[in-house]
Every structure is written in C-alpha cells, then in structure tokens.
Amino acid sequence: MEKTEHIHEVRRQVDAWRTAGLKVGFVPTMGFLHEGHLALVERAKMTCDKIVVSIFVNPTQFSPGEDLDSYPRDESGDLKKLREAGTHLVFLPMVETLYPKGEETIVELGNLPNHLCGLRRPGHFRGVATVCTKLFNIVRPHEAVFGTKDFQQVQVLKKMVRDLCMELEIITVETRREVDGLAMSSRNAYLTKEERRNAPILYRCLTRVREQARNGEKNASLLIQQTKEAIEDAGGIIDYIEIVNSEDLESVPVINENSHMLVAAFFGRARLIDNAPLIDSQQPV
C-alpha cells in the first residue's frame, strides 16, 4: 500500500493504472475508520482492480459551531486497517492542498440540499460536493463508493455526477451496524456509556416503521409521531424525523413504494443519523 499527500503522485499512479486498462475504485473518507468504511473498500474490490482511499476531514462541510476541531482522528490506526483491507493507495491531502490560498470556486446543488441535514447544516452539502469534485478530479476513479447511512449525501452526489457529466459511477453500500442495530459512525465515539445503550432506538424505530408500512399503515405523520416519542423516551433530542420521496427528498404525507424515512437526533453531543426505505426492498438500508 502506498500513501501520499501530493496530488501529482495520486495522478501519476492512477494514470499508470488507467493506461494499463485497470479499473480504479475510490472511497473518500474523513478517517477514524470503522467496519462501515472497510465495507466500502470491500465493495470497491468486487468491481475494481485498484483501490484508492482518501482521508481528509473536510473543513467546508462543517457548519460553524460543529465538531470540526474535535472530529476524531487516528491516522496510524486507519492506515493499518486500510492495508489489511487491501487498499492500494491512500491519499492524505493537507487542507492547503485542496483549499489553497485564494481558492473560492464552489459547486452548488440546486434544491436537494434544501431538505433534512442540508437545512440543519447550512453549506454542508455544498462543502461535500465541492470537495468530492476536487477529489474526483484528482483520483479520476471509475467508481466511487459511499455508505447509505449518509442517504442525502448519496442522492446529492449522484445528482452532481449526472448534472456535471462526470465520468464515474456512484456506488452505494448498505449501512454497517453494531449487533444492537446502531449504525456505525465515527461520531459514535462521542457517546457516553448510557447514550450508547440508548442510541439503537433510531434503528429500532426505523425497523418498526418499516414493518408497519409494509403491513399497510400509510399515514406518515402518525408514524413520525410514534418515532418522535420513542426517541425522546430514550433520551434523544430530535433534529428531524421525515418520510420523504427518495428521489427529490420532498416530504410525503402518504407512504408509497418510493418513501424513505430519515432520522437525525442528538444523544449528548453526538448527532446521529439513520435511514431506511419503507417499502422498496431493492434499496439498501
């Protein structure tokens, strides 16, 4: 496994692979890797010959007052995991490399960010889209792999790739979960013991709502209200609970086969998110 912080070294390596006819898979991360990230690497290996992983805590996707400064980091642990997972190249750029002095060009996404996490985290998806554009332009992968835990992010990036005619495919991998159902997340490191015990309520609610929806309950606000009460009973502070159309992320009052439920709640200082398709079993959870 090679690692570099330099754009030109990534380009040189990927150019050589592409010229040799090899397929390049890319997993962008913010580090502090868990099994969910490694599942993305595993997925990339299924269809690609060479795997590039980036580790970059992207400042522009954090809103003021969020956890940019305290975001957990473990570079040596990450490199060990990535080596064991069969990664070929790790790109660890400096902030000044992706955001040099005077840079100011951004990618704006239209209406998709005006929902869910985008409303609560102003500029978040602009930051995600801008840094992914830079990373995609540097790594030039055939496939980029993202986890479904960040459902809105995946929808935003798929749209960006389509709209800007980028030549790569966005691949999604289902959310990896702890045994009690809690979605794996670097931010789970913020949870106290008690919060950790309570946090799986998010997944239990999603599972219950899905079961109710599949059994014929189509009333979105009823299901949202039940979920709200259950999360609050478990000590969570609701950021949002919504049932939306999975394509445009608009709220739907009556559940149909495109409906998707998304929740965001604080347990202590950890803001946790999770989501599930309610009817369609083709979408990963």
* Options 51-59, 103-111, 174-182, 264-272: segment touching its own copies (CB under 8 A): 103-111
Considering only 1, 7, 68, 189, the residue that binds its own copies (CB under 8 A) is 7
Residue 173 host element (H or E) = strand 169-173
The rounded distance, in Å, linking the Cα atoms of 96 and 75 is 18
Tracing tokens 């005077």 back to the chain, one arrives at 102
Q: Is 137 in the site for its own copies (CB under 8 A)?
A: yes
CA pair distance 3, 13, nearest whole angstrom: 11
Catalytic residue among 6, 8, 34, 37: 37
Nearer to its own copies, 11 or 218 (CB): 11
Q: What residues between 9 and 28 interact with its own copies by CB under 8 A? A: 11, 19, 21
Six token digits for residue 64: 């003021």
The reply to whether 103 sits near its own copies by the rule CB under 8 A is yes
**Of 165, 193, 215, 216, the one binding its own copies by CB under 8 A:** 165
**Is position 6 annotated as part of the catalytic site?**
no
Rounded CA-CA distance 237/266 in Å is: 5
Q: Give the residue carrying structure tokens 């990230």.
A: 37
Residues in CB range of 196: below 8 A, 6 or more apart = 182, 188
Nearest approach, Cβ of 130 to its own copies (angstroms)?
8
The residues that touch its own copies, with contacts defined as CB under 8 A, are: 7, 11, 19, 21, 98, 100, 103-111, 129-130, 133-135, 137-138, 140, 159-160, 162-167
